Amino acid sequence: MNETPSLSGKDIEVGLSGGLDSVVLLHMLSRLRQQHGFSLRAVHVHHGLSPNADDWAEFCLDYCNRLSIPIRIAHVRVKKGNSGIEAAARAERYRVFSDGLSDILALAHHQDDQVETFMLAVVRGGGLRSLAAMPQQRDLNAETKIWRPLLPFTRSDLQHYAELHHLDFIEDESNKDSAYLRNWLRNEALPAWRGRIPHFDRHILSNIRSLQEDLELLDEIVRQDYEFVYGGGRFSVAKWRDLGSRRRRHVLRHFVLQHGLGTPSQSSISDFERVLMESDKAEWKLPAGTVYLYRGSLFPLLRQKMDKISKSKGKVIRGRLKDILLDNGFVLQPSPFGLSEELLAQEGIVRNMNNNDVIKLDCGTKPVKKVLQEYHILPLVRKSWPIIINADKECVAVANLRAGVDFQVENGVIPVFFEYQEYITELNYK
């Protein structure tokens, strides 16, 4: 296994379909986990597309039990879109993979898959990135890397390994259906090419390696552009507009991938590029969230985060302030002008702000919504911003931002809500 990432102390999740490739990969890694000091688990995505789907899930569960490996089985509903059922199923798999929170996601693609992927890219288009096929490693999101340790091996190599270790696996009956383009390539077209051209696979793989080198150079340029645009911790649309059109599109794609918002289509990137060149406010809907243009910057909001924000609206928590803050995910952050321990020991309320809330500051009494505006916080996030209310129904603090002047003490604390802190970091221009 070449191009192996550092495995020691890592949490590795294997995508397990129950087929030959993933069964072999899980078996290989199970034999290496003690030697290399990593934890291992598996994930099986139940698409529900085959009448045998329940049996496959049961097979994977039994196989993992025999290897003493934890497994999660994710049931998904695949909706056929414009790209077909295969693409929709793949999108659901990667959505599940992104939820895994592992350090490394190990996938069982092998050399034959690599050749098929290249040929599909030739037929379907998609440019350099598609023709470069599958890298051995890439980022899935900010927390997780995808690793394909079997790419140097052929399917025949894996069959030999399975026979050697007496491994059982399942056969997906749909693999024989040449109505699917990939199956037609595998079952009919590629055997014909291989029979016609000596060393066909070797030539294809050599081209893939060359294209991947070109892609590495392109990505290096994109990273430099991204650092230029993202300097200071936020995406500057003004700097982005100074780039040429092709570079702008590559930077947008990099931004989306860096924030785990899914893989945007080329047409989606081009459409949003045109919008950004002309507008001061815009939204970009993506597979895993939305990008907002606000005050000359782009802000990503993952769908999971948006769901949490939505669920928090209207929530009222009552009790001893320190207890209810700590019990609900707040951190009491030291502040030169924060709240006192004495106040936090009293009864109170934590809830979302509303348009009638006010807080008394050094400059006088202000509506809380005005304070949030002055901190240039994204409007969507403002609507559910938490505030702290005392027993006298006074707003004593706006979470993460300010304490009321009448309740400030030297070396006090400000309640900081973890789910919102990143927005303060990115959005506080004050």
CA distance 146 to 192: 32
Class of domain 208-308: mainly alpha
Domain regions of the chain by residue span: 11-196, 208-308, 313-427
Crossing angle, helix 111-124 and helix 200-229, to 10 degrees?
70
> What pLDDT sits at residue 290?
93
Low-confidence ranges of the chain (pLDDT < 50): 1, 425-430
pLDDT digits (tens, 9 = 90+) for 181-220: 889 999 999 999 999 999 999 999 999 999 999 999 999 9
> What pLDDT sits at residue 135?
95
> What pLDDT sits at residue 430?
41
> What pLDDT sits at residue 403?
94
Query: Can you identify the CATH homologous superfamily of domain 11-196?
Result: HUPs (3.40.50.620)
CA distance 298 to 257: 14
pLDDT digits (tens, 9 = 90+) for 327-356: 988 999 999 889 999 999 999 999 999 999
pTM of the model: 0.73
> What pLDDT sits at residue 417?
85
CA distance 64 to 58: 10
Residue 375 and residue 417 in contact, taking contact as beta carbons nearer than 8 Å: no
CA distance 330 to 415: 6
Q: Let me know if the fold of 11-196 is the same as that of 208-308.
A: no
> What pLDDT sits at residue 130?
92
> What pLDDT sits at residue 1?
44
CA distance 281 to 292: 8
